[in-house]
Amino acid sequence: DVANQELVVGCDLGSYKVVGLVGVKEEDKIKVLGWGEAESKGIEKGVIINIEKASESIEEALKMAFRMAGKDKKEIMVSISGEHAEGKIEKGFVVIQTPDNEIRREDVKKVIEQAKTRSYSEEKEVIFVYPNHFIVDDQKGIKEPVGMIGVKLEVEAFVLKAKKNVLKTIEKCFKRVGFEIEGYITQPLASSFAVLDEEEKSQGCVLIDIGKGTTDLAIWKDGGIQYTSTLKIGGDFLAGDLATCLKIPKIKAEELLKKYSFAHPKFAEGKETVLIERTGGRPPIKVTPEEYAQITEARLIEIFRFCELEILKWGGKENLIAGIVLTGGYANLEGIEEIAEEVFKLSVIKKGAKDVIGLSNEITHPSYSAAIGVLKIGIMEREKIKKMKKKSFFRKLIDFLEKI
Residue 289's CATH number: 3.30.420.40
Shared domain for 155 and 268, answered yes or no, is no
Residue by residue, DSSP assigns 164-179 as HHHHHHHHHHHHHTT-
pLDDT band of residue 27 (cuts 50, 70, 90) is confident
Answer whether residue 248 is part of any domain. Answer: yes
Per-residue pLDDT at 82: 80
Is 268 among the domain residues?
A: yes
In terms of domains, do 236 and 138 share one? no
- 254 belongs to a structural domain: yes
pLDDT(17) > 80:
yes
pLDDT at residue 333 is higher than 70? yes
Residue 139 has pLDDT above 60, yes or no: yes
Structural element, H or E, at residue 82? none
The residue out of 108, 134, 162 marking a domain boundary is: 162
Nearest CA-CA partner of 195 in 169, 173, 218: 218
Determine the Cα–Cα distance for residues 276 and 261; give it in Å rounded to an integer: 16
| Boundary-marking domain end, from 114, 139, 162 | 162
Q: Are the CB atoms for 168 and 153 separated by under 8 Å?
A: no
Same domain flag for 273 and 141? no
What confidence score (pLDDT) does residue 120 get?
84
Q: Do 231 and 287 belong together in one domain?
A: yes
Counting every residue, how long is the chain?
404
Same-domain status, 146 and 229: no
Average pLDDT, the chain: 91
* 202 and 332 co-located in one domain: yes
pLDDT top residue among 337 and 4:
337
Q: Is 157 within 8 Å of 131 (Cβ atoms)? A: yes
For residue 209, give its domain range.
198-352
Establish if 283 belongs to a structural domain: yes
Report the phi/psi class of residue 363: left, alpha or beta, with left for phi > 0 and alpha for psi in -120 to 50: alpha
How many structural domains is the chain composed of? 2
**Looking at beta carbons, which pairs linking 354-358 to residues 24 or more positions away fall under 8 Å?**
354/194, 354/195, 354/197, 355/28, 355/29, 355/30, 356/29, 356/30, 356/31, 356/32, 357/26, 357/29, 357/30, 357/31, 357/32, 358/23, 358/30, 358/31, 358/32, 358/33
What pLDDT sits at residue 391?
64
Q: With 80 as the cut, is the pLDDT of residue 395 above it? A: no
pLDDT band at 360 (very low <50, low <70, confident <90, very high): low
pLDDT at 74 over 70: yes
* Domain-located, residue 90: yes
Phi/psi of residue 163, each to 5°?
-65, 130
- pLDDT tier at 4 (50, 70, 90 boundaries)? very low
Q: In this structure, are 139 and 280 located in the same domain?
A: no
Res 310: pLDDT: 96
Task: Determine, yes or no, domain membership for 186.
Answer: no
Confidence of residue 189 (pLDDT cuts 50, 70, 90): very high
As a whole number of angstroms, the distance between CA 115 and CA 131 comes to 9
Helix (H) or strand (E) holding 181: strand 180-186
Instruction: List the one residue out of 330, 331, 332, 311 whose CA is nearest residue 320.
Output: 311
For residues 330 and 209, state if they share a domain: yes
Measure CA 212 to chain center: 14
Structure letter (DSSP) for residue 331? G
| CA 244/CA 355 separation, integer angstroms | 41
Above pLDDT 90, what percent of the chain? Answer: 69
Helix (H, G, I), strand (E, B) or coil at 70: coil
Residue type, 87: G
Q: Give me the phi and psi of 98, to 5 degrees please.
A: -75, 150
End-to-end Cα distance, the chain: 41
Distance of CA 299 to the CA centre of its chain: 23
In this structure, the dihedral spanned by the alpha carbons of residues 190, 193, 196 and 200, taken in order and rounded to 10 degrees, is: 110
Residues 155, 251 share a domain: no
In a domain, 137, yes or no: yes
- Burial class of 403 by CB neighbour count within 10 A (0 to 12, 13 to 18, 19+): exposed
Q: Mean of the pLDDT values across residues 53-58?
A: 96
Q: What value does the mean pLDDT take over residues 158-179?
A: 95
CA angle 10, 191, 116 (to 5 degrees): 80
With a cut of 60, say whether residue 173 has pLDDT above it: yes
Shared-domain flag, residues 202 and 348: yes
Asked which of 147, 162, 177 is the last residue of a domain, the reply is: 162
Strands 224-231 and 274-276: unpaired
What is the domain-level CATH number for residue 119? 3.30.1490.110
Is 347 in the same domain as 252?
yes
Please give the Cα distance from 317 to 340 (Å, whole number): 14
- 222 and 314 part of one domain: yes
Q: Are 256 and 276 in contact (CB under 8 A)?
A: yes
In a domain, 182, yes or no: no
Stretch 284-295: mean pLDDT, rounded? 92
